[in-house]
Structure 1
């Protein structure tokens, strides 16, 4: 069976791509011009003085020094790693640099760890003060990676990272060194523990006082129990899905198990492959060419088709801007109308990411989207064969990675065809109205909860909502408005601790929803939640003018988010709460809060050449 049946490109996908290309023409050309200037000298270490160069390899082994002294044909690969041994998803990265060096040395190439970047876990900081650093950690990672790469002695990049802000931050940095080829090297998910639905039930029981702290901890440790990413389709695993859709992974490498023979083969093949596409070869494939308008649209479509994390709306926008490409919520909205939901992975279904992988995983999703003409096949990828290379399954044969067509699969409870989807539109939808712009993840919300018209309950902190719930005050139907949670206010922490409580109330028969200028994690679940409301309250957005009892309407069918009972134009703006700027390092990040842009533009707090 051919992995890429011929099908004309969907006209809406084509129109959106054209709109993005035209909108980005000036900034994209400026970006590409800069990348061409940076690419002029190869190998890049040949620019260095003898003193500079000696510092470069002072600590290297003798056989590596021999290669690094040769300035005309041998590649030196820079490794940027997010390894630490506290975070399960990044613990497997410990031995990757040595595997990479072992793969390259026999070929006459070298690799050096250019630098390490911080990697924080939102699962640890949820509801804690440290969560207010989370979004800004993305830009910190971009800056840290840029410092490591700034020595300008590398001919290619291998990025070792997996989770929420780490992959976007690494890619943002890599794009500013876009004259170099770059491959992302994932680590894979942990084995399945208890089901995600069982874990969620225990959390709700605990919220109601029906489970003890010991029972909750036992449940959580059975869910998060070994090296690898969490097994739900949250931000970390959405990152991996989109790296495949953008052609930045080796095909089908996202969800292979950590420390398996196939995983180690992927790591070593990533090393040899990046050496094959440097500027020293005839197959030169810089990351600036891989991340283009078409590949960004492919990522947007794949996000919608799989009901991925809402965080990626922000991150894709930021990534695109670092490549001189401007995408908007309108682009997502237009694509969502024609891109159906074709996967069910928790929280959008009962399957976990391992079951998704065994059902065909990334390769089958890309196969389906290619078959329906919903993604561009004619893109550059690190595999060198266009997107069709990513519609194939990998296996290890005689210690070598072998590929075969993904096919259509048979498990219709996890992955379906475009012709027979779970829902006719994408898993994420735009909302707009007199409250501004917002997004909502509808893929996990039952359709009977897509429309709510109820009085507002106003909170400036999720802790206040939790206390009101514990005091029995959250009765009747309501829309919880949790504001001053945007990037300028407090770094835009995820508000995931609200979900079990709202789920309890919804299960009791109350009609409830959340409206916030903050975020939820990729595990956004069954309760309707209008997120990333923009302008945020701290920028005098309309969300700061709502008062207790105002009638708020959230309608996923029509895409509307409005206060229906009052004229907000005459209302004063609420004052922000005090006391969110210090402690747990938050004071160090004031520069980010002051300079950050709106979420609709990627919530970027750092500057680059094109803005100068």
Structure 2
């Protein structure tokens, strides 16, 4: 085991010893109650199976046959979730074939950041994660289930499902995704078209045509943003069956994996001899494995929030320093857009998750001795070096490749793209922030330039269109934190800032908001904490202040005289316009309750 990975794991265990112990005690108490519908009264149980067919009713009258709860994020507007429409019927059929039952326990909301990017609805996006967590808990609250299958893919959906499921951690839980859509318009071409539109050189029709060729069918978007980072995480944390993450929807292999997930969920309930509850799978080692996988693959910065919040739900305390220290020893092994031009289909074909996990295990960077939902396929995480295939109509697993099919997409640990994982923590008189450097060229990783201060992304775009940003600058976009307006992604700014950088200007973004999971070539210090609405020092910056962002040495500071800096106050913000309309008024309690970015930007307390 790499000594840094071991040391970080040990300090996470020590840091959360009390809260994790409390969580485990609660899960053990729930576990001791046995099959849970056994405690229901006759009236309770009759309500629970009233709509079932006679066979399922007969099975559910006793407590000897497993009942699997299905929690789904299906809707037919989101391409990533549209394939889930047919999953419940397939799952129920697979369950009946082995003498079990499956019931659709409940649906959770699933919004698309691609649709809401730059729109008022984006200000509900981060909070939707916690709404999904609560919806998952409501879905499982009927106490009818011996296991659960969580169907979801995208940005806030998988973290929300997992946070909610962890409150039922005594149940076995398997995640079942839909898979990525086939490859469309190359990512490089898509980015070029977006920049041309930002410069006014092409019209909306040409832009829409390009976007439609990129996002073109059912399935997950193929770039390596938060949605596909989610799938990587579920696999490397042992919550998928091996090889589930990146199989395209609508294929026989995809259907076979969904059926196999159902069978496995029934096998690992407390009714059998291989009981594998969620709380035993998601421990401190699994969380560290998830962070290492995120770093090695250049995954989404959103997981510096989501993984923290997921860990908290299991009583585990993770900080950004853990990410930073693990990044220093984790090599970058993939080049998937925005860190390269390939998409996740190309990554999967080059060796995918089985080869990535194989390389990281061989390098001592992952805990191999963990509990997973796939214990029948091998010992610990080593089962995930295997890949699923169809032998006729039979699903089988065999050892995955030992070498990359394309070293320009998936590298070996002996010849990585970079010796580190490209995620750093920045410190200074502006607070703490994270930055993803894996897609940022070396010459752009340090920027020292005058500040231009904005209170919204629309203000910045107006300044760009008017030509006021044709110079070296650090764009400060403040009052974008979770308490201010729900911490929206500011990915809408990427094309404009990219145009300025391409013109040769020194450009950076500094904000207490988020960037997309597709954070790209412009250096962006994000998630600054404390946020401006909490009196964070980013609010002290004035136009013309010299700002230094140094990703190499972890520096983020305003080069202002210390006496003057201490005397400055953070201005008040008029946020009334972003607190109403598009449902935002309903989320006022969440803006009041939410904790800081480094604590996961969640409304849930770790001691709850």
| Class of the TM-score when normalised by the shorter of the 2 chains | over 0.9
**2 CA distance for matches of 1:285 and 1:394?**
21
Moved more, 100-109 or 137-146: 100-109
- Describe the superposition over 1:159-183 as per-residue Cα deviations: whole angstroms up to 9, x where unpaired: 0000000000000011110000000
Match status 1:47 vs 2:44: no
Matched ranges for 1:585-600 at <5 A: 585-600=583-598
Pick from 355, 361, 377 the counterpart of residue 364 of structure 1: 355
**2 CA distance for matches of 1:113 and 1:261?**
23
Pick from 510, 527, 533 the counterpart of residue 515 of structure 1: 510
The count of aligned residue pairs is 601
Pick from 223, 226, 231 the counterpart of residue 232 of structure 1: 223
**1 CA distance for matches of 2:522 and 2:293?**
23
What displacement does 1:607 show? 4.2
* TM superposition outliers: structure 1 runs of 4+ over 4 Å: none
Secondary structure at 1:548's aligned position in 2? coil
Secondary structure at 1:271's aligned position in 2? helix
**2 CA distance for matches of 1:462 and 1:37?**
49
**8 Å contact 2:285–2:367 — kept in the other structure?**
yes
Secondary structure at 1:337's aligned position in 2? helix
Matched ranges for 1:342-353 at <5 A: 342-353=333-344
Aligned to 1:397: 391
Structure 2 residue ranges without an equivalent (≥5): none
Matched ranges for 1:196-215 at <5 A: 196-215=187-206
Secondary structure at 2:491's aligned position in 1? coil
Pick from 441, 444, 448 the counterpart of residue 446 of structure 1: 441
Match status 1:576 vs 2:567: no
Aligned to 1:534: 529
Secondary structure at 1:505's aligned position in 2? helix
**2 CA distance for matches of 1:319 and 1:108?**
33
**8 Å contact 1:550–1:566 — kept in the other structure?**
no
Aligned to 1:127: 118
Match status 1:301 vs 2:301: no
**8 Å contact 1:185–1:249 — kept in the other structure?**
yes
Q: Let me know the Cα RMSD of the aligned residues.
A: 0.8
**1 CA distance for matches of 2:519 and 2:586?**
29
**2 CA distance for matches of 1:340 and 1:470?**
39
**8 Å contact 1:460–1:577 — kept in the other structure?**
no
Match status 1:20 vs 2:29: no
Secondary structure at 2:427's aligned position in 1? strand
- Describe the superposition over 1:435-469 as per-residue Cα deviations: whole angstroms up to 9, x where unpaired: 11100110100111000100000000000000011
Matched ranges for 1:592-611 at <5 A: 592-607=590-605, 610-611=607-608
Moved more, 414-423 or 483-492: 414-423
Aligned to 1:3: none
Matched ranges for 1:410-425 at <5 A: 410-425=405-420
Matched ranges for 1:475-514 at <5 A: 475-514=470-509
Secondary structure at 2:102's aligned position in 1? strand
**8 Å contact 1:87–1:121 — kept in the other structure?**
yes
Aligned to 1:4: none
**2 CA distance for matches of 1:112 and 1:607?**
31
**2 CA distance for matches of 1:244 and 1:201?**
33
Secondary structure at 1:514's aligned position in 2? strand
**8 Å contact 1:438–1:531 — kept in the other structure?**
yes
Structure 1 residue ranges without an equivalent (≥5): 1-8
Pick from 259, 265, 268 the counterpart of residue 250 of structure 2: 259
